[in-house]
Each structure stands twice: as structure tokens, then as C-alpha cells.
Structure 1
Amino acid sequence: MVFYNISENYTYMSIDTEILQRVQSSRVVEMDTIVLFITVTTYALCLLIPVLLYLYGEFRQQKVLKHKAFQLILALALNALLVGIVKYSINRPRPYTAVASVEQLASAGSPSFPSGHTACAFVVAATLCFMFKDKRLRFLVCLWAVSVAYSRLALGVHYPSDVLGAVIIGTLCAFAGQAVFTYRWNRNSL
């Protein structure tokens, strides 16, 4: 498994640790509350967005928006399944338990690789980018997803490779949700 080989390679781990230490040492301590807020609200936003999308579709009587809400829920469910399987298959320790210089600023209970928060944020961001053409919306959701990824590093709960793996998994789950939605939508419109 590619992720397993990357997470166990010593040279890569030292680069991973060095990047994490630089992120932590360059953080602005006064911003820790905001960074923690970004992390703490990630899962709530990931669940709230499809609910709001569905309710807005119901209110506007737009069936396509309700379908898009289900597309996002499908992608999030697939993401949760894959992240859980990979996390417990690799079982990588958190950086604050393996590297003495890494300061833990948030709680974390599961294994480190991949970052569940980051994967979830990238599922939502990528799916919304597929759904909507508004450049401002796309910019904002991508900025939010990158902020979530950064927060996981700054808080000392993930290595950069955890975040990178999560970006890949989350984006692939968004592509899978888009493919299923497009296939079903095209089949139903025949």
C-alpha cells in the first residue's frame, strides 16, 4: 500500500517532522484560538452544509439541489469509511507522541494517518466546486479546506503527510460522488 510505505519511510519521516516543526515554530500564538475554532467546527460544518443544501433545495423547489445534497452525503460517507479503514490499518502514532518537540494543542483520539478533519473538508470543498461555478464560493470553500489542513499541523496533531494523504482521499471521494451523481442523473434523464 502506497500510504503505508510513505508513512513508514525514515527519510520521509524526518522531512515530515521537520516541516511540522517549522509550521509549529512559525505559528502566531495569538491565533491559536482561531486555529482551534477552525478544527473544532470542521465536522459540524461538513454535516451542516449538505443539510442546508437540501433544505434550500426544498424551499426553492429545486430537485437538483436536493440531489446534490445527497451527492455530498454519499461522498462524505465514502470518505468516512475509507479514512477509518486506512487510519486503523496503518495505525500511525500522533506526532506529539513520537516527537518530543511537537506541542499538542488539541485533543486527538484516533491514529494519525490520514487526517479525518482535512479529508472531510476537502470532500466538501471539492464537491461544492463541482456543483457550483461561482468563483468566489469556490475560493472560499478551498480557503476553508486549506485552513483546516493548516490547523491540524499548527495544533500538532498531524504530520504533513497525514494532511496530504487526507487531501488525496477527500478529493477522490468527491470525484466518486460526482461520478455516481452524474451517472444517475444522466440515466434518469433518458
Structure 2
Amino acid sequence: MTSELLDQALVEEATKKSGLIWVKGAGAPAARALWHAWHEGAACVVGDGPGEQSLAGLTDGGTAEVVVRGKDKGGRLVDWTATVSELAPGSPEWEATVAELKGKRLNASDGEAMTGRWARECRVLRLVPTGGLLPLPDGSLAEPPMPTPATTRQPIPAGLPRLLLKRRGRKRA
């Protein structure tokens, strides 16, 4: 009994203090980093709308694997399984959860109208721990990057370092 309570406390504290969690839904090719808020015993996430994070692979009634990393060094702290439940917009649970998420949302373009947009266009999910921890993996977990339309920068022009060093030299004199 005490082992279960310690596991539950570890999951809660580590997840509360982590800025991101890595979540892999059933059938998803890889885990995704999601910002979240811990509310009433679950990690709550919002997404799948314009300008919001993707919740691909997370379905209502499904399961997910959650990896929590530390803020200081980024090392893996704990892995746990969760059941996924989608909250109905406008329900009391949805309102309470969105109030928590709203405080964690950074750089929202629509400010106070954000919750209305979430109700119309997004999904709010609760990831409830099922109890017990997953064993930490052995070996490398390196995976290739996920496909993205983003590109890397072009090489810098050959003369740029000289120009930058010349400007620094003038400032010192």
C-alpha cells in the first residue's frame, strides 16, 4: 500500500514541477512534448486547434504513456501510464480545468477570448495516472526527428565573422 502511495506522490510532484511532459498515445509513432497543468489528480492538456499543440494519438477512453523529465538537467524522472478522457466544453469540469490551463498558456494571441476559442475549436484532455510506474528503459532511446515544414538556416556568408570581429575591435578602442 505504501509503495502505491509513494508512486502516486512521485508522479504528481514530478509532473507538477515539469514544464513539459512527453506523451505517446496508443498507435502514435512517437512521443510529443506537451505543455500541461496538473489539476485534480491529472495532467490536463489542450490542443488540436489553430495555433495550439497537436494531440495526435490521444483519444477519449484510450491510454497514453507519459514521460516526465526534470527541469534542471532534462533527465528522465518518471514514466507512467494514463487513461485519456476528453472534457465536454462548458461542463463544470471543463471550466475548472480551463481556468488552470489558462494560467499556464504562454504567448496566446487572443488573450481573454482564448477560452471561447478553446471551447469552439480545441480539445481539452485529462491524463489520469492509472497507478504504478513504468520501468525505466535500458540503452539509448534516440529517435529521428519528427517531420516538420521548418528548415535550417543557410550557411553564414564567409565575410560575416570578419565584420563582426571588426565591430568588436572598434568598441574596445
Structure number with the higher strand fraction is 2
After TM superposition, the score normalised by the length of structure 2 is 0.26
> Highest relative contact order (Cα 8 Å, sep 6+), 1 or 2?
1
Rg larger in 1 or in 2? 2
